[in-house]
Amino acid sequence: EKNIRLEHGPGVCKSRNVWTGFDAATGDILMILDADLTTIPEELPYFVDVIVSGQAEFVNGSRLVYPVPKGAMNGANMLGNKFFSVAFTYLLGQRVKDTLCGTKVLWRSDWERIKPMLGRWGTEDRWGDYELLFGAAKLNLKILDLPVHYQERIYGSTKMTKVFRHGLVMLKMCWHGFLKLKLGY
């Protein structure tokens, strides 16, 4: 029997809606799958297998392993993803190939430990990816990238349009990540 229900988030930004869903969820494993279906739900069982088997405590999707179809991601976003991949691999001390892939899986118990750290990385994370990754690293969780097949969005339009402005926000979060994770502030 499946207990499926719809929770209405505040609608302000993706991260706050995800946190609302996490808090309302009743299972031990929490998953994020973006509603635009740029990654397919059929790949979620692989994420569950990885976390349940103990191969990782936080499973991060990576859209940058398989070829990305033309039109699925613009050049500026691809370049930004590659830059932040290098930055996060250094900051977290674990390989992270795609910081902004919306597909992520973690244990509820770890979410409860990450939650008090929200908003403490220099600015609000509109998407939530950085706060989750930084929180997982701060807790010394084993993070594993899992490739996903990325496709053009089926629903909606990208919210990652102000590339320069969003890039500056992400850099600010990385600076605070550096201070906290590397220097212990």
CB atoms within 10 A of CB 30: 20
Give CA angle at 112 (17, 144), nearest 5°.
85
What distance in Å separates the CA atoms of residue 31 and residue 48, rounded to the nearest whole number?
9
Cα→Cα distances 179→21, 98, 106, 144, 183, Å = 30, 22, 25, 23, 5
Mean of all residue pLDDT scores within the chain? 93
What's the pLDDT tens digit per position in 127-143? Answer: 999 999 999 999 999 99
> What does CATH list as the number for 14-182?
3.90.550.10
Where are the domains positioned within the chain?
Answer: 14-182
Cα→Cα distances 38→8, 34, 35, 155, Å = 22, 7, 8, 8
pLDDT of residue 160: 67
- For the record, the structure tokens of 168 come out as 């500056």
Per-residue pLDDT band at 149 (split at 50, 70, 90):
very high
pLDDT of residue 140: 98
- The model carries a pTM of 0.93
Cα→Cα distances 126→16, 94, 119, 167, Å = 8, 23, 10, 12
